Amino acid sequence: MAAAKLIDMEFPPRGALLGLDLGTKTIGVAVCDPDRKVATAVETVARSNFTKDAARVLALAAERSAVGFVLGLPINMDGSEGPRAQSTRAFARNFSKLTELPIGLWDERLSTAAVERELIGHDVSRAKRAAVIDQHAAMFILQGALDRLAVLNR
């Protein structure tokens, strides 16, 4: 797997970040502590339309006093960007019109596959995996970004 990269990520030095795994049917949401040590799964938002989806994400951010967002960017294994990455970039552009909080993109290659393996390894049933996979993928994405930020801020 290629090394994950931070893309366009500038955040205040401290404060909670919300991680998002943008799927076509759901948005997985995770949050970290203000010291940015640990990402935790929050919920899976069922997608309906951009306005409602964005409103729910902004409400979650307000509830958790988030200072920024990390969106998983689904880059292809060869490093190219396909339709899903373009869709994520479009969401980020439109979302940035609704908030002044910074939005960063994180290379999320294989995040869902890694989470699926982890859940299977913990003997989580197929039904339970389906219910939590997106928020756990958001947690995986956010934790990767947090780990990279920790290295950059040493």
pLDDT of 7 higher than 60: no
Q: What is the CATH number of the domain that holds 115?
A: 3.30.420.140
- Mean pLDDT computed over 43-65: 97
Confidence of residue 107 (pLDDT cuts 50, 70, 90): confident
Q: The tokens of 114 are what? A: 């890694």
Q: Mind listing the pLDDT tens digit for each residue in 17-46? A: 999 999 999 999 999 999 999 999 999 999
Helix%, strand%, coil% for the chain, nearest 5? 45, 25, 35
Average pLDDT, the chain: 86
State pLDDT tens for residues 65-74: 999 999 999 8
In a domain, 48, yes or no: yes
d(CA 94, CA 117): 33
pLDDT band at 151 (very low <50, low <70, confident <90, very high): confident
Range of the domain at 61: 14-152
Report pLDDT for 39.
96
Total count of domains within the chain: 1
In a domain, 102, yes or no: yes
Q: Is residue 6 part of a domain?
A: no
Inside any domain, residue 7: no
Residue 2, domain member (yes or no): no
Q: Flag whether 5 is in a domain.
A: no
36 lies in some domain: yes
